Each structure stands twice: as structure tokens, then as C-alpha cells.
Structure 1
């Protein structure tokens, strides 16, 4: 409860001051397929049509993890039951979007049924399951590359 109140107050401060970073959360989803690790990337239907894992903005009163679950359900159709979520494996990315600070927290999650394709929302036009190097190349963001490399090394110990 204390955590939800804290995030709510942070959201209010962010809206009123305009100085705090926007927050978002999601999962870096991977699957074990044909003896390799593949990562889910989805192409946005807006803006530069960038490729990212499912993620989205934290709503007022919502904690980061709840946001990650909600956004993954909304954007990819996967629920917590579809995933092995590694709550102790997380990475925080900080970057700028249109000159404004943004913080995104990702947790590592394995798709239980490697054959189950995502069900995309209107926010995305296509998806791809890709090995590490192809996923990071398609994304094109250095911080995403660092995150995937970090998680890829961690997967070996899961």
C-alpha cells in the first residue's frame, strides 16, 4: 500500500512540476525456440515506428510491476499466466524522448509456450521473435542493446 501511495504522489509531482521523468514499465520477453533464445519486439504504429518490447506509461496510483503486467496484456495479449516472470531480474533505462526525461523499468520474462504468438493491439503493426544480435540491431538503441546483453547473460543462470 505504501508503494502505491508513493507512486501516486510521484505521479502528481511529475504532473505539477513537469520536471520529473515520465515513468514506464514492461517486460523483456524471451522464448527458447529451436535451441536458441529469441526476444519479442513489436513495431509501434505511431511516430518513427520503433521496435520495442511491450511497455507503457505508469498510470497514477499504479506501481511499476502492475503497469508492466497491464501493458503486456494490452499490447501483446500475454497475461502473467503465460509468462515465467523473473521479478529479481530487472533493468532501469533512463533516456530522453523529445527532449524530456523518461525512465523505463523492464523485468525479464520467459514465455511458457514458445509457440504462442502475441495478439497485437492497435498500438503495434507487427512483431518479431529475434536472436539477441538481430533484436538489438533492429531496435537500434544503445541502452536497449546493453539491457538485452545483460539479460542474455542472466538467462544462462536461470
Structure 2
């Protein structure tokens, strides 16, 4: 039944700015105009990690060489969208230069860099809130 599952992938991007860890959320230009990290559907023949990098470049204008990617940190979310199962795989990435600009595609209307508490308030979906909290604990455990 996995062929009916929509698969997407993305990066949870953070930066260290003014002694604070901040997470990048993008506001969708469609549907409920929800806020999420950059992500998108896996294209045929493409791996999930490749998708995460491609979608981040397309949606936020951030290239792989602008980030330190924590390939050992991976989270998979499973939920339903309009009655269909969806799987989203996220990796963690730190922006090397905190002031690098974000360039949005037409898929998004706004972006914000937010500390974990505000990021969780902004990301309305429980699954995303849980991942953001988990990422924050992971980063704190490494300091």
C-alpha cells in the first residue's frame, strides 16, 4: 500500500543569531496558508535527501554549500492530507552565515526566523511542533 502514500522531504533549517537558535518557517501561498520548513514531493527517480536539497533551493533559495547538514538527524512524519496518507522526511541543517538571504518561490508568501517556542506557535500542526521541540532538545544536548 506504500504506492498510495505521498512522499515529501525537506530540511529543518536553523541559524544561530544574537545568542539564539532560530528556525526557518515558510508561509504557504495555498490552502490554509500554513507555516512549515521548506519541503516538497519526491520526484520519480529522486532520493528523499536529494528532494530535501532541491526543494530547499527552490523554495528558500538556499544551496547545500550554505548549510551544515546533520545527515545523522532524520525525522519522518506520517499524517493524512485530505484523506490520503503522507510521509515527510526531514533532515536538520544549520545556515553557515546567519544573515544569508532567503529567496522565496511563488509557493510561499512570507518567511520567519523564530525561536523554538514561537516556531511551535506558528506551526499549527502538532506533528511539526513535536519535531521542532525534538530538534531543539537535540541541539541543546550537543552543546
> TM-score, normalization: structure 2?
0.96
User: Which stretches in structure 2 are left out of the alignment for 5+ residues?
Assistant: none
Which residue of 1 is the match for residue 87 of structure 2? 103
Alignment RMSD (CA, Å): 1.3
Greater helix percent: which structure?
Answer: 1
User: Which stretches in structure 1 are left out of the alignment for 5+ residues?
Assistant: 1-9, 15-19
**141, 149, 158: which is aligned to 2:125?**
141
Which residue of 2 is the match for residue 48 of structure 1? 32
**Mapped pair 1:89 → 2:73:** yes
> TM-score, normalization: structure 1?
0.87
Deviation at 1:33, TM superposition (A): 0.5
Q: Looking at both structures, which has the greater relative contact order when contacts are Cα pairs under 8 Å and sequence separation is at least 6?
A: 2
Which residue of 1 is the match for residue 99 of structure 2? 115
Aligned residues: 142
**109, 115, 118: which is aligned to 1:131?**
115
Report the structure number with the largest CA radius of gyration.
1
